[in-house]
Chains A and B, each alone.
Chain A
Amino acid sequence: DTGVSQDPRHKITKRGQNVTFRCDPISEHNRLYWYRQTLGQGPEFLTYFQNEAQLEKSRLLSDRFSAERPKGSFSTLEIQRTEQGDSAMYLCASSSSGTAQETQYFGPGTRLLVL
């Protein structure tokens, strides 16, 4: 396993633009999570996929955010009409259901700066 990968690692955009992030989980991990983390805070849950099904979505997530996992493998997170408040680290994590510890492995994150 090569671990969870995320692309891009850094993104600078202007307010109002759309951005899309990609996450490639550890192969055969069926659970995939997206989080947002700002300085001095813990990761904030955004959404959860089991295989290709989006089973949980945070109430904090506005309609500008959408996530997909079309074939149950990689996932994308899109933010439309970005705002300065969207500036944060976006983390992806994956795990495998049915294992003893349900360990979540985090990717390196995508750091977003909205100017």
Chain B
Amino acid sequence: QKEVEQNSGPLSVPEGAIASLNCTYSDRGSQSFFWYRQYSGKSPELIMSIYSNGDKEDGRFTAQLNKASQYVSLLIRDSQPSDSATYLCAASYNFNKFYFGSGTKLNVKP
């Protein structure tokens, strides 16, 4: 079992819709969670970090964390074609080691 699991997709949504990306993790000791966006051929870039149960909003992005269910999600509102990328979920216990999921490919259709 991988430390962080994601559906590989692709997830296709029309422009303007809400994209919902999900992630589960196996280590209950994980304390910090991250969503990265990776365009093809590029390096990952951080979108959101979340440390506490509940929701965290930043612009069109909302991260949700449920530690009891070991579940992290990312909502992208008003999806744009430029949001088309692979989204990586990551978990860390103490910032000494990060576990990444295999990523979910998102396609936003104009």
Residues from chain B with Cβ under 8 Å of A101 in the complex: 46, 49
**Interface residues of B, dominant DSSP:** strand
A44, A97, A103, A109: which contacts B100 (Cβ < 8 A)? Answer: A44
Q: Tell me if A97 and B99 are in contact (CB < 8 A).
A: no
A62 interfacial contact with B, CB 8 Å = no
Kindly identify which residue among B42, B49, B88 contacts A43, using a CB–CB cutoff of 8 Å: B88
Q: Are A97 and B95 in contact (CB under 8 A)?
A: yes
Query: B54 to nearest A CB, angstroms?
Result: 17
**Docked-complex contact A42 and B103, CB < 8 angstroms:** yes
Question: Would you call A48 and B96 a contact (CB within 8 A)?
Answer: yes
CA distance A45 to B103 in the complex (A): 15
Beyond A42-B88, A107-B43, 20 additional contacts (C-beta under 8 Å) are: A40-B8, A40-B103, A41-B102, A42-B6, A42-B90, A42-B103, A43-B44, A43-B98, A43-B100, A45-B99, A45-B100, A91-B44, A97-B95, A101-B46, A102-B32, A103-B49, A104-B34, A106-B44, A108-B43, A109-B43
